[in-house]
Every structure is written in structure tokens, then in C-alpha cells.
Amino acid sequence: MARGLGRINKMDPDELKMLKTRIDVATAIMVALIAILVVRLWHLQIRKGTEYAQQSENNRTRIQYIAAPRGNVLDRNGEIIIANRPLFNVVWIREDSPSPDEVLKQLAKILRLDISVLLDRIRAGADHPRYLPTRLKENIDWETLIAIENNAYRLPGVQVEVVPSRDYRYGEMASHLMGYLGEINQQELDASKGGVYMPGDLIGKGGIEKQFDRYLRGEKGQSFVEVDVRGFVQKRLKSLEAVPGNDLQLSVDINLQKAAEEAMTDKAGAVVAMEVNTGRVLAISSLPALPLHEFSGGIPGEVWQRLLNDVKTPLINKPVQGQYPPGSTYKIVTALAGLSEKVITPDTTFFCSGSINFGNRTYGCWKKGGHGSISLHRALTESCDVYFYQVGQKLGPDALAHYATSLGLGLKTGIAMEHEKAGIIPTKAWKLNRFREPWQDGETFSIAIGQGFDLVTPLQLCRLTAALANGGTLYRPQFIAAVKDSTGAFVSQFKPIIDGTSLGSPKTMALIRDGLAGAVNEPHGTASAAKMQDIIVAGKTGTAQVVRMAQYKATSPSKVPYLYQDHAWFTCFAPFDKPQIAVTVLVEHGGHGGSAAAPVAKAVLTKYFEMHPPTPPPQAEPTAAPLATP
């Protein structure tokens, strides 16, 4: 050490200088490296800072969505038809369950389920993070809910999740109109723009719920939360309230709807009731109803198959999707065309012997014995086929089609319902195009009485009837009276839409209305089943042949198999002198219009006039045809 110490004092000045130089170099290197750090810091915090700040925000913030209460659906009087109702689901959070076996055993007992059912559910969600809830049972009832709450201390990790759902106050009434909700699928997600929907959302799958989903759904609220690296919420940052969906007030009167559907009990078909001067739909019914209660949470395959195979075709929304030959109701069109084209006058008579020969075929009248000498009024009243065969034959298919189309047949009505059908009103060109065959004159006979190629929907026929009643205006059928937001303010309100005016002078129409009044009110009328005490109803029956096979010709109607029985039509308006309401009834395979369909219309009318008693009080002599033409 002495040696070492001795050297200290003798530090070579040259060496000292050299070392000092090296320290200077070291200082320079340090400063340079520090400068690199400072530049890097500047790069990260100043130059790219905003970018990193955004990434840090994305790291820590999550958006939780708050479901918006869906709008209610009300009838024209404010009666709630569809409202919201919470649905209670049992969920399980594995992370919070220290002894899962015991908990699940207890839970299975409360839910009255086999534990294997629960285990299957858990296995299906096994790849979920442990802190996310797994759904074990949907839609538990009150007793189960209370049982779970009471046993909460024995069920750690088990929670009850509250999910909004729909409450159909009138069950399956107007089921096709109302529609239903279901979880959104990928296609619907792809189709939606602007991120309105998210996976797991409920969306309207049919009816009003689908067509007016944009009003009903409201806007989700958003809650911005701060989460830590494990996703646990640390605090709420800000939130945007959910905007409740708009309420839909329908023009439909639930009482009329009920009357219609009760009158149609056990029948298949359609009922449409409409205000003749506005196009507002008062009732629109398709039967059999959809079993909406089986649709929540997706339609099970076997239910779908059962509905698909049902001969009464409940999956078809018959007022707009059902296409039927109009039968004798079409005589309104033939009469209007005949008078307007002047191939007949009100006084033109034909002789009905019960049938007419044309070419080498015989065309029968429904009345085998014949109507004898018959003119327009009685032909409508008693629905003489032979009379209209001849009118049709004089007009030809194209003239008939011209008038039919002006009355809205063969055209979609534009009602806000899915998959509306246009029906068929044939012309010569149509047949050539469709079948590559020229028109046969005999076919004119068929279409003149609404058979053959003619196909209409019940809604079209109702609109036609309304147009006849109001003097020729074709209103678009609408069933929304108003859209209101949650404060009750109008978002939009009903406005009548006129889609066209039918051909035919007011006088011509009056003649036809007379004939229809006669059909209901005169002794030999075909529609006396619709006759009312105080109100003059004007209507037309129709019996549309489905397939009349030779083997059933002689069979009595009750022995004919269901699918081969005729469709029964009745379309009418009332009151005769100041029409307010048009009602059209179709009973599928119901037989005769007068017997099967007219009573249904009468039930609807009765209910309607019970609620809207006509003023002034009815005339003393309602049975007399008041506007009989000279």
C-alpha cells in the first residue's frame, strides 16, 4: 500500500491530462446519449403524443350500452296492445362461485331442472372468460325468482339478469299485423348502417315490429366506463341517456279486431275493415293466428315445420299475401265496365236458363233452375252468373282488366306490410306472354264472374269496396294513426294518401251500390245474412271455386275434402247512404260467401256501429231499396 500511496502524489501530469481528456470524451458521449433520450421523449410525447393519448384512452375506456325502452303499440283509442315487460334470466358467473358443484346442485333444485341441463349450458359457454355471466335459464317466473333471491346466500355467483321483452296484451290477436321480435342475425347486422344495431340486439322480425322498428327501437344510451387491465369497471366517466322508442298509435280498433277474430274462430282466412273516406284500416286479420308466444327467443325448428305443414297456412298473412279468385265479388267490376262501356244499360235484360252454351261448352249459373229474364239490379242482388257471362263476353278481357285495374285490382295497395302480393288481372297480352297461347273466348266467361285467372287479395277487394262506396277514390290502406315520442309529441301523423281514382261515373257507381244494397236487404238477395236492424248494409257475396274435380261434382258440400272446398267471400260497406266503413271477409274453404263470410262481416259491422251509432237516427223503412232506378 505504501507503494501505491507514494505514487498518488506523483501523478504524471501527462497521464492526468490524458485521463482528463478521456473524461471529456466520456462527458461528450454521455451528453450525446442523453440527447438521444430527450429526442426520443419528444418524439413519443410531442410528435406522436396525440396518437398514444388516443391509444391510452382506448385502453382504459369501454362503452357500455343501455337498452332503450321500446315504444308501445296502441290502438286508435289508446288501448295498449304491445308494451314492454322485463324478462328474468338466471345467469352464473363462474369466478364468483367458489364451489360450483354445490351451487349448481342447489340451483337445479330451485329451477326444477336436471343438473345435466345446467352443465350442458356451462359447457357450451366454456370458452367465455370466467368473469362473464353464462345464461342458464331464460324467462323464469315470479316464484322461481323469489326462490333464487331468498337463497342468494347459498348461491354465490348466481344472478338474475333482467332483459327487456315484449308483452302482447291481446295475445295472438292481430298477430300478423303485430309481428314479433328476435335476436338480430348477421344479415340484418350487415344491412344496418351507422352501428344502430349490435350483436345480441332484439329486432322486429315481422309485422309492425319489423316495419316500424326504426320508430320503436329508440336510441341506446351509452355509459363510458373506465376499466383496468382485467376489464373491471373502476368508475363511470359519463353517460348518455337512452332515448325511448316512439309509440305507435294504430288506426286499428282492437274491439273491431276482436270482433272479427272471434267471428272467425276455427276458420281460416282474412278480415279487413277500412274507413271508406280515408283508407284507415280499422281491423286487419289473418287466421289462423301465429303462435307468437312460441316465437320469443327464435322460432324452434319443429314449430316452424308444424306451421309450414298446416293446411290452414298460418304463415301467410292472408289480407295481403293470400291471392284468391274473387268469385262473384268481381261482378262489381264487370257491371261497372259494362255500364261505362255502354255494352249494357240498367235495363238491358238477358235470359238465364241456368246455363249458357258457348262454342262446344256449357257454362252454368250457380242457380241450376235459372233466373229467367234478368236485368242489372237483380243480377247483382241475386248474383246471376249467366247475366255477367254475357256482359263479360261483350266487353272482352282487356276492357274488363282496364276497369279492374282502375279499381286497384292486380296492383299492390302499398300498405306497410311485408311481401304484399299484386294478384292477377289477366289481359290477352298477359296470357300470351305467360302461357305463349292466345286468349280463348271461353276464358272471358270465367273471368267475368271472377274465376279463371283472376286473383285478388282481400285487402284489394276491401279497397275496391271502399272506392265504390266513396265514389271512386282509391285510398292507400294505412294502419298507423300517429307516431308519438315518449313525451307524447307527434313525430308523424296520419295523412290520407290517394293512389288513384277509379273509372265509372257517379251515376254508374250508384247503380252498382243499389244492387249491393239489394243483395243484403232484398228478399232474394244472396247476402241477407249480413242484414242489420238499423243500418243499411250493401255488399256482395262471392264463392270462389278452388278446384272442382269431377268426382266431387255431385257430392254434397260437407263431404268435399277441406282443401277442395270453395272460398267464401263477402265484401260490403255501410251505412248505405253515407258510407263509413268497408268490410271484406274471406273464409278459406268456407263454402258459400252468403253463409260463411257474411255473418263475420255483420259481426264486425255490429261492433262498429255499436261504438259509432249513426246520426241521424236510422230511417223507418230500411228494407226498401232507397235508390231503385227507374
Partner 1 sequence: MFRFDRRLLQNVDWVLVGGVLLVTVMALLNLYSSTRLNDTVGLSAFFKQLYFNLMGFGLILLIVMVDYKALIAMSYPLYILGLLMLVAAMAFGQTVAGSQRWIDLGFFRLQPSEPAKLITIIVLASYYYRKDTGKGFTLGELFTPIVLTLIPFALILKQPDLGTALIILVIFASMTLFVKLRWSTFAVLTGTALGALPVAWKMLKPYQRQRIAIFLNPESDPLGSGYHITQSKIAVGSGLKFGKGYLHGTQGQLDFLPERHTDFAFSVWAEEWGFFGSLIFMACYFFVLLWGLNIAVTARDKFGMLLAFGIVALLFWQAFINMAMIMGLLPVVGVPLPLFSYGGSSLLTNLACIGLLLNIRMRRFMVAA
In the complex, minimum distance from the CB of residue 97 to partner 1, in angstroms, rounded to a whole number = 21
Q: Is 126 in the site for partner 1 (CB under 8 A)?
A: no
- Give the DSSP per-residue string, 435-453: HSSPPPHHHHHHHHTT-TT
The H or E element spanning position 356 is strand 355-358
Nearer to partner 1, 11 or 308 (CB): 11
Cα torsion angle, 595, 600, 606, 608, sign? negative
CA distances from 297 to 192, 203, 261, 292, 352 (A): 21, 11, 26, 11, 59
Nearer to partner 1, 2 or 547 (CB): 2
Residue 349, classified by CB atoms within 10 Å of its CB into exposed (0-12), middle (13-18) or buried (19+), is middle
Amino acid making up residue 330: Y
In the complex, minimum distance from the CB of residue 128 to partner 1, in angstroms, rounded to a whole number = 18
Nearer to partner 1, 229 or 554 (CB): 229
Identified binder of partner 1 from the candidate list 11, 124, 152, 198, rule CB under 8 A: 11
In the complex, minimum distance from the CB of residue 61 to partner 1, in angstroms, rounded to a whole number = 9
In the complex, minimum distance from the CB of residue 224 to partner 1, in angstroms, rounded to a whole number = 13
In the complex, minimum distance from the CB of residue 489 to partner 1, in angstroms, rounded to a whole number = 42
Q: Is 1 in the site for partner 1 (CB under 8 A)?
A: yes
Q: Is 441 in the site for partner 1 (CB under 8 A)?
A: no
SS3 per residue for 205-265: CCHHHHHCHHHHCCECEEEEEEECCCCCEEEEEEEECCECCCEEEECCCHHHHHHHHHHCC
Sequence-separated (6 or more) residues with CB below 8 Å from residue 88:
139, 140, 145, 160, 161, 162, 163
Q: Is 131 in the site for partner 1 (CB under 8 A)?
A: no
In the complex, minimum distance from the CB of residue 235 to partner 1, in angstroms, rounded to a whole number = 10
In the complex, minimum distance from the CB of residue 54 to partner 1, in angstroms, rounded to a whole number = 8
Nearer to partner 1, 227 or 289 (CB): 227
In the complex, minimum distance from the CB of residue 1 to partner 1, in angstroms, rounded to a whole number = 6
In the complex, minimum distance from the CB of residue 233 to partner 1, in angstroms, rounded to a whole number = 11
Identified binder of partner 1 from the candidate list 13, 15, 265, 556, rule CB under 8 A: 15
Q: Is 429 in the site for partner 1 (CB under 8 A)?
A: no
Q: Is 312 in the site for partner 1 (CB under 8 A)?
A: no
Stretch that binds partner 1, among 14-22, 131-139, 297-305, 541-549 (CB under 8 A): 14-22
Q: Residue 452 forms beta bridges with which residues?
A: none
Nearer to partner 1, 46 or 620 (CB): 46
Nearer to partner 1, 27 or 501 (CB): 27
Q: How far apart are CA 589 and CA 311, in angstroms?
A: 11
Between vectors from CA 576 to CA 623 and to CA 526, what angle results, nearest 5°?
60
Q: How far apart are CA 434 and CA 30, in angstroms?
A: 92
Q: How far apart are CA 475 and CA 407, in angstroms?
A: 11
Cα 171 to chain centroid distance, Å, stands at 15
Nearer to partner 1, 5 or 620 (CB): 5
18: its cell numbers: 490524458
- The answer to whether the CB of 325 falls within 8 A of the CB of 311 is no
Sequence-separated (6 or more) residues with CB below 8 Å from residue 301:
none
| Contact characters 41-70, partner 1, x per CB under 8 A | xx-xxx-xxxxxx-xxx-xx----------
In this structure, what are the phi and psi dihedrals at residue 293, rounded to the nearest 5 degrees?
Answer: -65, -20
Q: Is 34 in the site for partner 1 (CB under 8 A)?
A: yes
- The answer to whether the CB of 137 falls within 8 A of the CB of 111 is yes
Nearer to partner 1, 7 or 507 (CB): 7
Amino acid making up residue 286: S
Nearer to partner 1, 124 or 233 (CB): 233
Nearer to partner 1, 12 or 167 (CB): 12
Q: Is 26 in the site for partner 1 (CB under 8 A)?
A: yes
Half-sphere exposure of 505 (CA within 13 A, CB side): 8
Closest C-alpha among 451, 468, 523 to residue 332: 468
Stretch that binds partner 1, among 22-30, 204-212, 238-246, 553-561 (CB under 8 A): 22-30
- The answer to whether the CB of 602 falls within 8 A of the CB of 529 is yes
In the complex, minimum distance from the CB of residue 314 to partner 1, in angstroms, rounded to a whole number = 52
In the complex, minimum distance from the CB of residue 130 to partner 1, in angstroms, rounded to a whole number = 17
Number of residues that bind partner 1 (CB under 8 A): 46
In the complex, minimum distance from the CB of residue 230 to partner 1, in angstroms, rounded to a whole number = 7
Nearer to partner 1, 19 or 152 (CB): 19
Stretch that binds partner 1, among 31-39, 107-115, 116-124, 592-600 (CB under 8 A): 31-39
Identified binder of partner 1 from the candidate list 17, 23, 102, 434, rule CB under 8 A: 23
CA distances from 458 to 173, 361, 437 (A): 18, 31, 29
Nearer to partner 1, 129 or 613 (CB): 129
In the complex, minimum distance from the CB of residue 159 to partner 1, in angstroms, rounded to a whole number = 24
Question: Helix and strand tally (H, E) in the chain?
Answer: 22, 23
Q: Is 13 in the site for partner 1 (CB under 8 A)?
A: no
In this structure, what are the phi and psi dihedrals at residue 269, rounded to the nearest 5 degrees?
Answer: 150, -155
In the complex, minimum distance from the CB of residue 156 to partner 1, in angstroms, rounded to a whole number = 21
In the complex, minimum distance from the CB of residue 76 to partner 1, in angstroms, rounded to a whole number = 55
SS3 per residue for 513-535: HHHHHHHHHCCCCCCHHHCCCCC
- SS3 assignment, position 462: helix
**Which residues from 190-249 bind partner 1, rule CB under 8 A?**
226-230, 234
Stretch that binds partner 1, among 27-35, 99-107, 481-489, 497-505 (CB under 8 A): 27-35
Nearer to partner 1, 16 or 117 (CB): 16
Q: Is 8 in the site for partner 1 (CB under 8 A)?
A: yes
Nearer to partner 1, 42 or 131 (CB): 42
Would you tell me which residues interact with partner 1 (CB under 8 A)?
A: 1, 4-5, 7-9, 11-12, 15, 18-20, 22-23, 26-27, 30-31, 33-34, 36-38, 40-42, 44-46, 48-53, 55-57, 59-60, 226-230, 234
